[in-house]
Structure 1
Amino acid sequence: MRPGPRNLITDVAGLVVGNAHDAGLRSGVTVLTAARPFTAAVHVMGGAPGTRETDLLAPDRLVQQVDALVLSGGSAFGLDACSGVAQGLRAMGRGFAVGDQRVPIVPGAILFDLLNGGDKGWSASPYPALGAAALAAAAPGFGLGSAGAGFGAMTGHWKGGLGSASAVLPSGITVGALVAVNALGSVTAGDGPWFHAAPFEEGAEFGGLGPAPRMAPPDAPLPLKRQGEATTIAVVATDARLDKAQALRMAVAAHDGMARAILPSHTPLDGDLVFAAATGAREMQDPLTDTFQIGHGAATCLARAIARAVFLARPLPGDPQPCWSERFGG
């Protein structure tokens, strides 16, 4: 596998991503969408998720495709971002046709960033406007690190952020990942600079430092956040033609990448989940081999994207956590 030309999830042709954030709020929103509806699924492994419209992504539900996927800060308030995105899509004439009406299908997930030092004293939720702004900004190129849904994210040790990565499989199928990292666990080995995802790094996309000289012996970590304060929310995507059941298997496989990059992950205190998106632009030539490699590629891209999120995060005055780049010069 090799990265796509942008090393972003938008190397999956047709997908675009938009970010919006409020520096005073220390929070933001990220939207993934496309010119036409796409197949989607979701798999949740964390014990404290916050979601909207994820039940309809099950393979047996009526709606087979969605118009956008939303990742947002703001805890439960951030689910309002989906309403801003839906309003914007409706204005474009997008959505599931019901008579003469259009209902945009916009599943979303949130992370907790209410205790990161930002001004959270709003009288009306800022998230619908942030969602609309992120949709309006959607493009093939977009910012990483302290951007979008990752703007105010934190982890168990370093400041979190927004990450992305891509890979082109031997078949020519492209896969990619997009992630907002606000995890309870750590993405690095101890207090050192070495990322757990190092064995999967392409070039020097997160420093090129390689694995830690010696992995720390197993121990019993204590949570550095409380229940409901942590999560890693992600989207993995491909241009392969997948049905909802196959997309679900891609999401399940991608969780391996989360576990490779964050220790520990999928805890009772995290809301870890992965959306899957499939544009259907490329037919699979060997469904057995292709679906096998798509799952592996999605997991690998997600591990790399998680490390890139933390590697590219940048400091703000008053940050409650250090940036990896401040300590190690990313």
Structure 2
Amino acid sequence: MKNLLTDISGVRVGHAHDAAIASGVTAIIFDTPAVASIDVRGGGPGTRDDAMLKPESTVEAIDAIALSGGSALGLDAAGGIQAWLAEQGRGLRIREAVIPIVPGAICFDLLNGGNKAWGRFPPYRDLGYAAACAAGGDFALGSVGAGLGATTANFKGGLGSASAQTESGVTVAALAVVNAVGSVTVGDGPWFWAAPFETANEFGGRGLPPSFTPDMLSARLKGGPAAASENTTLVVVVTDAILTKAQAKRLAMIAHTGMARAIYPVHATTDGDVVYAAATGKTPIDPRFGLTELGMVAANTVARAIARGVHSATALPFLGALPAWGDRFG
């Protein structure tokens, strides 16, 4: 176990980003189509093909997921990933037509100091293609891919991942792009809200503070009262369990609990928080107790992935950029 999303066999992850624009793309590639669904809880989401993932919709499985910066302009990233998949002959076949199925979601990173004057066409389609080309079993965390330009209320955000197994041996893993309006730390200290779920000091081993002060529990919001839709945490949960689309939807819903355990506050009007849940269909589970246990472990894994994203991040090299957690406490 590498404590990464790619601990699920048949899943690969790739990043592509541009340091000058301080934004990027992360591609999650499934070697064979995966059953998937989505649950959106934020008030300002930006998604592509989310209706297709509803349990009542016809398409049963997907080939990849695109996560991107760039706000709505970043939705082009999925097209680049589709182009790479089409070159591999991958996609839904309807007679002679082959259509790669790539839902996607974006976060807002357009005000982080990078140069967004990219001309007529945003770079996200090309970044999506490059991310798919780079997909493999190992991938970096922190200020990379879709997490390059991410920020939180008080520290640099980033991309994190974690994995775990249920007592019955089902594997579940999460990848998170942390660009939240709220804070992932308790106040401005070194403690992560996700501390109770930490494994092997994976985000510093600081635990929780000995007591909570009113200041720690006060709101820390990115941009203050005038904050626009500058936020969003994107999560992908993948398991090797055998699930239906309806069960994948329930897994995504339960996994949102991990956001609430790791971000304060969460699911705000200016967040676009989304969880994708996908299943590669290897291990059968009980449809009631087994799915509930899987959701519990998935939620804990999401919380850990979010904390790891901030813990691993590095500050952007721009005047006034937020410090990284490691700059203060590493």
Q: TM-score over 0.5 for the alignment? A: yes
**Normalization by structure 2: what TM-score?**
0.96
Contact 2:182 2:264 in 1 (8 A): yes
Correspondence 1:6 to 2:2: yes
Task: Extract unaligned runs of 5+ from structure 2.
Answer: none
Distance (Å, rounded) in 1 between the aligned partners of 2:71 and 2:229:
8
Deviation at 1:220, TM superposition (A): 5.4
Structure 1 residue identity aligned to 2:60: Q
**Hey, what does 1:293 align to over in structure 2?**
293
In the TM superposition, what whole-angstrom CA distance separates every residue of 1:105-132 from its partner, at most 9, and x where no partner exists? Answer: 1000000000111110011210001000
Q: How far off is 1:95 after superposition?
A: 0.8
The correspondence for 1:130, drawn from 127, 133, 138, is 127
| 1:39-118 to 2 correspondences below 5 Å | 39-118=35-114
Distance 1:312 1:63, change over 3 A: same
TM-score of the pair, normalised by structure 1: 0.96
Checking the alignment, whether the CA contact within 8 Å between 2:183 and 2:220 is kept in structure 1 is no
Aligned residue in 2 for 1:211: 208
Indicate the SS of the match to 2:288: helix
For 1:274 and 1:20, how far apart are their aligned partners in 2? 21
What is the aligned partner in structure 1 of residue 140 from structure 2? 143
The 5 A counterparts of 1:182-197 are 182-197=179-194
SS at match of 2:117: coil
* Paired residue total: 324
Displacement of 1:219 after TM fit?
5.3
Task: Give the partner amino acid of 1:175.
Answer: V
Q: Given that residues 195 and 212 in structure 1 are in contact (C-alpha distance below 8 angstroms), is that contact kept between their aligned partners in structure 2?
A: no
Greater shift, 309-318 or 49-58, is seen at 309-318
- 1:242 maps to amino acid: L
Query: What's the offset of the Cα at 1:317?
Result: 1.9
C-alpha distance in 1 between matches for 2:32 and 2:140: 23
**Displacement over 6 Å in runs of 4+:** none
Contact 1:189 1:216 in 2 (8 A): no
Mark the CA change 1:8 to 1:222 in structure 2 (over 3 Å): closer, same or farther: closer
- The residue that corresponds to 2:222 in the other structure is 224
Question: In the aligned structure 2, how far is the partner of 1:57 from the partner of 1:214?
Answer: 43
Distance 2:95 2:81 in 1: 21
Partners of 1:248 and 1:290 in 2: CA distance: 15
Q: What letter corresponds to residue 293 of structure 1 in structure 2?
A: E
Contact residue 30 and residue 71 of structure 1 kept, 8 A: yes
Looking at structure 2, the residues matched to 303 and 222 of structure 1 have their Cα atoms a distance apart, in angstroms, of 19
Quick one: distance in 1 between partners of 2:186 and 2:230? Answer: 22
Q: Could you say what secondary structure the match of 1:106 adopts?
A: coil
| Aligned Cα root-mean-square deviation (Å) | 1.2
